[in-house]
Amino acid sequence: MHSPTLSGSTQLDAYRPLFLPTLLIGDSRLGGISSTISAYESLSLRGYIVDALLLFREDYYQNWEYLTSYFVEKGVPVVAIPPPPARLPSNEEDMFNLESYYKGISESKSSELSEVIAQLTKRHKSRLDELDSMPSRTHTQIWWPFVQHSFMHPNPGSIAVIDSAHKDHFSIYGDHHAPGSDDAGLLLRSQFDGSASWWTQTLGHSNPTLTLAAARAAGRYGHVLFPQSTHLPALSLAETLLAGPGKGWASRVFYSDNGSTGMEVALKMALRAFTRGHPAEGKPGGDRAKKLGVLGLKGSYHGDTIGAMNACDAGDGVYTCEWHDSKGFWFDPPSLVIRDGRISIDLPQALRELASRGGVSEEGFVWTGAKGSLNAAYDVGGRLGTALAQVYREFIEHSLDNIKIEIAALVLEPLVMGAGGMVFVDPLFQRVLIDVVRSRSPLVKPSTQGRWSGIPVIFDEVFVGTYRMGHQTTSTVLGVHPDIAVYAKMLSGGLVPLAATLAKEEIFEAFVGGTKDQALLHGHSYTAYPIACEVANETLKQIRMLAQSEGWKEAASKWTGGVSPNEAAKVWSFWDPEFVDELSRLESVKEVMTLGCVLAIKIDDGGRGNNLQTSIRSLREAHAFLRFKDTDPPLHRRSWVPLGTQILTRPAPTLLVFTSVLWETSGISSPASTPNVKSLLKSRRGSSRF
Amino acid sequence: MHSPTLSGSTQLDAYRPLFLPTLLIGDSRLGGISSTISAYESLSLRGYIVDALLLFREDYYQNWEYLTSYFVEKGVPVVAIPPPPARLPSNEEDMFNLESYYKGISESKSSELSEVIAQLTKRHKSRLDELDSMPSRTHTQIWWPFVQHSFMHPNPGSIAVIDSAHKDHFSIYGDHHAPGSDDAGLLLRSQFDGSASWWTQTLGHSNPTLTLAAARAAGRYGHVLFPQSTHLPALSLAETLLAGPGKGWASRVFYSDNGSTGMEVALKMALRAFTRGHPAEGKPGGDRAKKLGVLGLKGSYHGDTIGAMNACDAGDGVYTCEWHDSKGFWFDPPSLVIRDGRISIDLPQALRELASRGGVSEEGFVWTGAKGSLNAAYDVGGRLGTALAQVYREFIEHSLDNIKIEIAALVLEPLVMGAGGMVFVDPLFQRVLIDVVRSRSPLVKPSTQGRWSGIPVIFDEVFVGTYRMGHQTTSTVLGVHPDIAVYAKMLSGGLVPLAATLAKEEIFEAFVGGTKDQALLHGHSYTAYPIACEVANETLKQIRMLAQSEGWKEAASKWTGGVSPNEAAKVWSFWDPEFVDELSRLESVKEVMTLGCVLAIKIDDGGRGNNLQTSIRSLREAHAFLRFKDTDPPLHRRSWVPLGTQILTRPAPTLLVFTSVLWETSGISSPASTPNVKSLLKSRRGSSRF
């Protein structure tokens, strides 16, 4: 079970990618009940399906008897076979004796071994039947998030049946005849998890260390209620977060269940802090408090609960619903892109005109084969004195002067707006925006006795935080701290949901008072549930080790070889610079951009979507083993982009986004030893093939 | 490790309540690496903290060497001691030989065994230091849900340090000198989980079957993204829910992360279904769509995200915040209470006047020592023809005629409004309300080609569903189905968060169309994560077994002995009727009410809160071992009510609510064999005492 293999890990972990049918051989000796159950639990912890338990029908300890009833509820059939005969003194007699023993237990159709074999066949068949029926059962009973069901079909291949997952691959059933696949005929196919399962995966699927962390907390606490109490997993995590992304500014951690609820909490904190500092705005629940607005960027996304939605621009009206009531003002931001090997800034119309009137050049940065210029573009501190910064400043000041609504918070996804279209916002614009907002509203007015009185700055780091962008917090790159920040997704290792909202002590103090109604009256039943906190603690521990690893340093050095104005703030990507450069020069590719684990590719389809197939084919020529599943309209659904890859056709051109797990633990090799990212786009084999 | 005990369970489970320090003795023989790691994993699955691993320094297999490095990352020190000498032929020599072996490994201060003992002492001390420091660290770094922090203190006893939890008890550290405690001096004290950890617990804390289910799914999948794909845990759970609470009406399951997000989804479903059926109301995002309202009851609660809050009455303005914008009309509902052994209906002023003008008596039901009358009160079908039903009908019709806003959904917590004050609403009122709403808006208008056109009815069964009230759905009691229903809390066994929103096919069809923006554009990263789905599947399986058990039947029969108009719809409580009767007659108790796992006790303190201590003392006289932690103002915080017990002082009188887990699995005994609930209020011992 757990005997070491040559790779250093134990057999259970080493063989896990194969996800083989499992027959557990139990122990009929003294102590065998214990070792058999423990073995079963070790198998379960790694997701193995135990199809049957086989052991000797030993009559003194009768382990089989206890184990048979023990495993009834677990659905594992126990088969006991007669033990082998005692050894005879004569070799010849012994051989004869054994031979007849083997015949006895195997040849008869009613023998126990036949029963086992029949059992295995039956379970295998029913497993296949189950897998076969899953698409149609899903098609009629499941209501998916974000899916237009009229585009879906119950036939195999339309709905991905995920039989298991390991590291950065799904094991998918039922797509036996996928065109272009070189493993046609296999029942299970390994498929790259194109979006790291909506950006949640950190150390890869089914990581045994994280599973054990979850099990440990489940076994010690289950869930325990949190108000007025404490437990070690939640407290340790809070301390790690305050010493990590919260270092230098945050003093409090509030837990909730996902990025959207974490943002609702952040917004409640910010709005209340603002109104406590500005009592004239009226009390909570009052009409004026209902109309307070936020500042943000167009294209931002903070989750799908109504409060989080209200902090986003309604945009083109696609991502909206009946109660959605956007409250705020959103800037159209400049963004960074790589085209034909050059990094440049795309300025929106208004800014371009302003820059042009002011005689400011477009300040493109030439990106010369992976060296330096990415870090020049992200050298926020160094760029603060440029003419473009001044243009940003004037533009923002002017806009703020003309906003009619009361602004109570600034809400940003720092560096990258993920769900809104993977927009790599010019970090200089975000930095100037924060600086201007803070200069207009002093953080703490002396007259209010230390009470908060400014406009709080919220960083939504749900997508970009916890090392997705290569940094534990993007504050390091922007060079400023928020007043409130939210973490989720990768935080809990891609296993279970958890969000943490961090806040400055002054924000917290806005809720401290003599009555309960001044408190933050928000909470979810499973707040700070020990499993998620323990998994997050383990995840952050593993990432800290990775961040110190040679592999990471080497990958980073490929991007930071040149300019490194501020060592701690340097940016880098897990994707190889040569590959990114090559991609950006492809005719079918309009632009690319990358940071950390994310690679975004915009495909030039002339805005019509017609050339999409052609473009995708070009990518395939670049050895990209892609499977196209997520598009709208359905026309393209059978093409070649990994499941989960984010594909946006609105706004045109089409955008493909790949997100990987943190590679070094994702198995095959470190980014340093796989400099050719093409081989990563090419699906890695290993699962379900042997 | 897993050897069977006399109780039938294995040692690891049987000893778990003691939560002892653990020294794992490893196996140095062939195969010993495997059995040692498996043993460690079985311990971890039950939350045991392994303080050290001890094994023989056997030189051929050298298991200690591999295990030492294997356990480094897990923080478990491995100590290898010399193996015992080979047996000598002479008994005397052998004895002498062994004696000198034992001396050698134990007496020297530098021996390995001394190292182990020093290690254990050191770890024990650092564990106590950690526990000692937790209150002050928590006090300065954690921001709790729903807590006014100015009421809290960092001293031990103010913040409950939960060291572990088992079945329906916490193991609390640091409250060594609690007055009245008969275990003063113990470092850890067992304390009843008064609210079943905000009503999440189903089968008790740290249930090994649920832990294993969680581990199984983590090991097989981790999390895998859900749109356009499927996996067995999510699909099986959907089928179980559709065949369970969704039977007869629902056809679709949408997953999210908690009750609040589940309700946001339900509201989005209902509002869209309404607007698709009433195109004149304008499209989503439009001004008219923003103002659509819901019908509901005063005192309702649906969660703390803004959308869920907007579906609730702002009430007295305590539970509100800046963006809260209540949209709807809420009825002041009649409720059922037990006073002095009688069940009666408390009518709000308006209804009382209407009933009195119509010559309708107050229709109290006399509750005669546990027999029958609870079921008479809940015989909704039978009561539909009464004069009171007619009063309800006229009142509702009249109110609806005068509502000025556009109503797009009816949103109810059936039978009991939990967080809003544990109000046991007269089920007849809810039934009549549903009937009236449906009669005024036919569900499907023929003219709209099968499209939904009515006002959808949403059941928020987050608190009352999944057997908390003794039924898998309260629909059975009300005698009508909803169009949309939400489940959470107990659904996932009190281990991890999960919500499921069930919907009718007609509701689903309102989102089916030719463009993506017609779809339900709501989703969370961890939607349908396999761990929660697998835990929910196991939970529902265990509850089904419980519901068939003799213990449940016997407990139910105590309440249903008399009238049983509709066998399937009969109601009952886990709390013993004699005890409830006795409670309701106490001078200090104003009224009580109970259903399923919930017991609510209203204490008559004359609205001033002054007599609260006296009242609590009366309860203590009734052997209630209560610890008072949750009150506002802080005055009462050191009294005697279990942690987590819901205590509401607003509106007066004070309300105490106890919620138990489903008892039969909660350990000690079935409700049938502990008919005296007093002994349940009295904290059950077992943890941390031996």
**Run of H or E including A238:** helix A232-243
Chain B residues whose beta carbon lies within 8 Å of the beta carbon of residue A259:
524-525
Separation between Cα atoms, residue A256 and residue A43, nearest integer Å? 32
Chain A residues whose beta carbon lies within 8 Å of the beta carbon of residue B142:
230, 234-235, 238, 252-253
pLDDT at A321 over 60: yes
CB A7 within 8 A of CB A677: no
Average pLDDT of the segment spanning A310-315:
90
Count other Cβ atoms within 10 Å, centred on residue A182.
9
Residue of A nearest to B511 (CA): A148
Chain B residues whose beta carbon lies within 8 Å of the beta carbon of residue A140:
251
Separation between Cα atoms, residue B508 and residue A148, nearest integer Å? 11
φ, ψ for residue B496, nearest 5 deg: -145, 155
Count other Cβ atoms within 10 Å, centred on residue A534.
28
Is A2's Cβ below 8 Å from some Cβ in B?
yes
User: What are the b/e assignments for A635-670, b being 16+ CB within 10 Å?
Assistant: ebbebbbbbbbbbbbeebbbbbbbbbbbbbbbeeeb
Average pLDDT of the segment spanning B502-515:
93
| Of B600 and A447, more confident | B600
Distance of CA A309 to the CA centre of its chain: 21
Is A170's Cβ below 8 Å from some Cβ in B?
yes
Q: How far is A44 from chain B (nearest CA, A)?
A: 5
Q: Please give the pLDDT value at position B620.
A: 38
Q: Select from A206, A261, A514 the Cβ nearest to the Cβ of B220.
A: A206
pLDDT at B178 over 90: no
Q: Please give the pLDDT value at position B598.
A: 84
pLDDT at A634 over 60: no
DSSP symbols for B496-545:
S--EEEEE-HHHHHTT-SSSGGGS-----TTTT-HHHHHHHHHHHHHHHH
Is B408's Cβ below 8 Å from some Cβ in A?
yes
Residue of B nearest to A44 (CA): B216
Separation between Cα atoms, residue B146 and residue A524, nearest integer Å? 10
Chain B residues whose beta carbon lies within 8 Å of the beta carbon of residue A408:
322
pLDDT at A69 over 80: yes
Q: Which two tokens stand for residue B669?
A: 């005994």
Chain A residues whose beta carbon lies within 8 Å of the beta carbon of residue B327:
323
Is B668's Cβ below 8 Å from some Cβ in A?
no
Q: Select from A38, A44, A145 the Cβ nearest to the Cβ of B39.
A: A38
Q: Which two tokens stand for residue A618?
A: 């070009």
pLDDT at B659 over 50: yes
Cβ <8 Å between B205 and A197: no
Tell me the HSE value of A548 on the side-chain side, using a 13 A CA sphere.
Answer: 5
Q: Please give the pLDDT value at position B368.
A: 52
Q: Which two tokens stand for residue B16?
A: 């778990």
Chain A residues whose beta carbon lies within 8 Å of the beta carbon of residue B267:
323
Separation between Cα atoms, residue B25 and residue B50, nearest integer Å? 10
pLDDT digits (tens, 9 = 90+) for B522-574: 999 999 999 999 999 999 999 998 888 887 787 788 887 655 556 788 898 87
Give me the count of residues in chain A.
690
Q: Select from A35, A206, A272 the Cβ nearest to the Cβ of B321.
A: A272
Q: Which two tokens stand for residue A103?
A: 């015949």
Separation between Cα atoms, residue A315 and residue A298, nearest integer Å? 7
Chain B residues whose beta carbon lies within 8 Å of the beta carbon of residue A511:
149
pLDDT at B608 over 50: no
**Would you tell me which residues 251-310 of chain B have a C-beta closer than 8 angstroms to some C-beta of chain A?**
251-255, 257-261, 264, 267-268, 271-272, 275, 284-285, 289-290, 292, 303-308, 310
Percent of chain B with pLDDT over 90: 56
Q: Please give the pLDDT value at position A15.
A: 92
Residue of A nearest to B11 (CA): A34
Q: Please give the pLDDT value at position B569.
A: 86
Q: If you ran DSSP here, which 8-state letter would residue A102 be given?
A: H
Residue carrying structure tokens 């804390």: B205
Residue of A nearest to B327 (CA): A323
Q: Report the DSSP pairing between strands A229-230 and B160-166.
A: parallel
Q: Please give the pLDDT value at position B684.
A: 29
pLDDT at A315 over 90: no
Is A688's Cβ below 8 Å from some Cβ in B?
no
Q: Which two tokens stand for residue A186?
A: 């296999």
- Which pLDDT band holds residue B578 (cuts at 50, 70, 90)? confident
Cβ <8 Å between B304 and A521: yes
Separation between Cα atoms, residue A316 and residue A148, nearest integer Å? 18
Q: Please give the pLDDT value at position B616.
A: 44
Chain A residues whose beta carbon lies within 8 Å of the beta carbon of residue B31:
3
Query: Which range is least confidently modeled, B589-598, B605-614, B649-658?
Result: B605-614
The strands making up A229-230's β-sheet, listed across from edge to edge, are A229-230, B160-166, B169-173, B188-192
pLDDT digits (tens, 9 = 90+) for B362-420: 655 555 544 458 888 999 999 999 899 999 999 999 999 999 999 999 999 999 998 88
Highest mean pLDDT among A206-210, B584-588, B632-636: A206-210
Query: What contacts B267, CB < 8 A, 6 or more positions away?
Result: A323, B294, B307, B308, B311, B409, B411, B458
Alpha-carbon distances of B374 from A453, B333, B417, B464, B472, rounded to whole Å:
55, 19, 18, 17, 19
Classified as helix, coil or strand, B662 is: coil
Q: Please give the pLDDT value at position A453.
A: 74
Mean per-residue pLDDT over chain B, rounded = 82
Q: How far is A344 from chain B (nearest CA, A)?
A: 32
- Which pLDDT band holds residue A402 (cuts at 50, 70, 90)? very high
Which of A94, A76, A75, A74 shows the shortest CA–CA distance to A84? A94
Q: Please give the pLDDT value at position A191.
A: 78
Is B636's Cβ below 8 Å from some Cβ in A?
no
Q: If you ran DSSP here, which 8-state letter would residue B125 be given?
A: H
Query: What contacts B7, CB < 8 A, 6 or more positions away?
Result: B14
Average pLDDT of the segment spanning B37-41:
97
Average pLDDT of the segment spanning B309-322:
86
pLDDT at A164 over 80: yes
Is A690's Cβ below 8 Å from some Cβ in B?
no
Chain A residues whose beta carbon lies within 8 Å of the beta carbon of residue B527:
145
Query: What contacts B270, CB < 8 A, 6 or more positions away?
Result: B294, B408, B409, B411, B456, B458, B483, B484, B507
pLDDT digits (tens, 9 = 90+) for A228-262: 899 999 999 999 999 999 999 999 999 999 999 99
User: What are the b/e assignments for A123-151, b being 16+ CB within 10 Å?
Assistant: beeebeebbeebbebbbebbbbbbbbbbb
Q: How far is B627 from chain A (nearest CA, A)?
A: 13
Three-class SS of A553-617: HHHHHHHHCCCCCCHHHCCCECCCHHHHHHHHCCCCEEEEEEEECEEEEEECCCCCCCCHHHHHH
Percent of chain A with pLDDT over 70: 80
Residue of A nearest to B251 (CA): A141
Q: Select from A3, A285, A489 the Cβ nearest to the Cβ of B320.
A: A285
Rg (CA), chain B: 29
Q: Please give the pLDDT value at position A370.
A: 45
Is B513's Cβ below 8 Å from some Cβ in A?
yes
Q: Give the residue from A3, A173, A224, A534 with the most B CB atoms within 10 Å of its CB, the best one to mutate.
A: A224
CB A392 within 8 A of CB A428: yes
Query: Which range is least confidently modeled, A160-174, A411-425, A618-632?
Result: A618-632
Average pLDDT of the segment spanning A86-107:
91
Which of B435, B646, B44 shows the shortest CA–CA distance to A209? B44
Separation between Cα atoms, residue A274 and residue A407, nearest integer Å? 9
pLDDT digits (tens, 9 = 90+) for A322-377: 999 999 999 999 999 998 888 989 999 999 999 888 878 665 555 554 445 888 89
Chain B residues whose beta carbon lies within 8 Å of the beta carbon of residue A639:
none
Separation between Cα atoms, residue B204 and residue B210, nearest integer Å? 10
- Total-model pTM: 0.91
pLDDT at B497 over 90: yes
Is B147's Cβ below 8 Å from some Cβ in A?
yes
Is A66's Cβ below 8 Å from some Cβ in B?
yes
Is A210's Cβ below 8 Å from some Cβ in B?
yes
Query: Which range is least confidently modeled, A584-593, B593-602, B676-685?
Result: B676-685
Separation between Cα atoms, residue A296 and residue A311, nearest integer Å? 8
Alpha-carbon distances of B27 from A41, A233, A629, B24, rounded to whole Å:
18, 31, 50, 10
The interface pTM score, or ipTM, of the predicted complex is 0.91
Separation between Cα atoms, residue A265 and residue B185, nearest integer Å? 40
Tell me the HSE value of A604 on the side-chain side, using a 13 A CA sphere.
Answer: 12
Is B216's Cβ below 8 Å from some Cβ in A?
yes
Q: Please give the pLDDT value at position A669.
A: 30
pLDDT digits (tens, 9 = 90+) for B180-218: 555 556 788 877 787 888 889 888 899 999 999 999 999
Query: Which range is least confidently modeled, A154-163, B131-140, B659-668?
Result: B659-668
Chain A residues whose beta carbon lies within 8 Å of the beta carbon of residue B235:
134, 137-138, 141-142
Q: Is A58 left (phi over 0), alpha (psi -120 to 50) or beta?
A: beta
Percent of chain A with pLDDT over 90: 56
Average pLDDT of the segment spanning A476-493:
96
Following CA atoms A480, A485, A491, A496 in sequence, which dihedral angle do they give, to the nearest 10 degrees?
-170
Cβ <8 Å between B218 and A211: yes
Separation between Cα atoms, residue B96 and residue B110, nearest integer Å? 22
Where are any strands of DSSP class E within A414-568?
416-417, 423-424, 457-460, 484-487, 499-503
Separation between Cα atoms, residue A23 and residue A29, nearest integer Å? 18
Q: How far is A45 from chain B (nearest CA, A)?
A: 5
Chain A residues whose beta carbon lies within 8 Å of the beta carbon of residue B135:
230
Q: Please give the pLDDT value at position B184.
A: 54
**Run of H or E including B162:** strand B160-166
Is A583's Cβ below 8 Å from some Cβ in B?
no
Average pLDDT of the segment spanning B255-263:
98
Is A7's Cβ below 8 Å from some Cβ in B?
no
Average pLDDT of the segment spanning A438-465:
77
- Which pLDDT band holds residue A447 (cuts at 50, 70, 90)? very low
Average pLDDT of the segment spanning A64-88:
94
Q: Select from A33, A162, A275 the Cβ nearest to the Cβ of B229.
A: A162
pLDDT digits (tens, 9 = 90+) for B217-229: 999 999 999 998 9
pLDDT digits (tens, 9 = 90+) for B272-300: 999 887 765 556 667 888 999 999 999 99
Three-class SS of B393-452: HHHHHHHHHCCCCCEEEEEECCCEECCCCCEEECHHHHHHHHHHHHHHCCCECHHHCCCE
Q: Please give the pLDDT value at position A349.
A: 93
Q: How far is B347 from chain A (nearest CA, A)?
A: 28
Q: Which two tokens stand for residue B292?
A: 């659509």
Count other Cβ atoms within 10 Å, centred on residue A451.
15
Q: Please give the pLDDT value at position A258.
A: 98
Is B18's Cβ below 8 Å from some Cβ in A?
no
Rg (CA), chain A: 29
Query: What contacts A328, CB < 8 A, 6 or more positions away?
Result: A293, A294, A295, A296, A311, A313, A405, A407, A411
**Would you tell me which residues 590-609 of chain A have a C-beta closer than 8 angstroms to some C-beta of chain B?**
none
Write the single-letter amino acid at A260.
S
Query: Which range is least confidently modeled, A79-88, A392-401, A526-535, B609-618?
Result: B609-618
Separation between Cα atoms, residue B284 and residue B271, nearest integer Å? 9
- Which pLDDT band holds residue B105 (cuts at 50, 70, 90)? confident
Distance of CA B64 to the CA centre of its chain: 44
Cβ <8 Å between A221 and B47: yes
Q: Select from A1, A290, A308 the Cβ nearest to the Cβ of B325.
A: A290
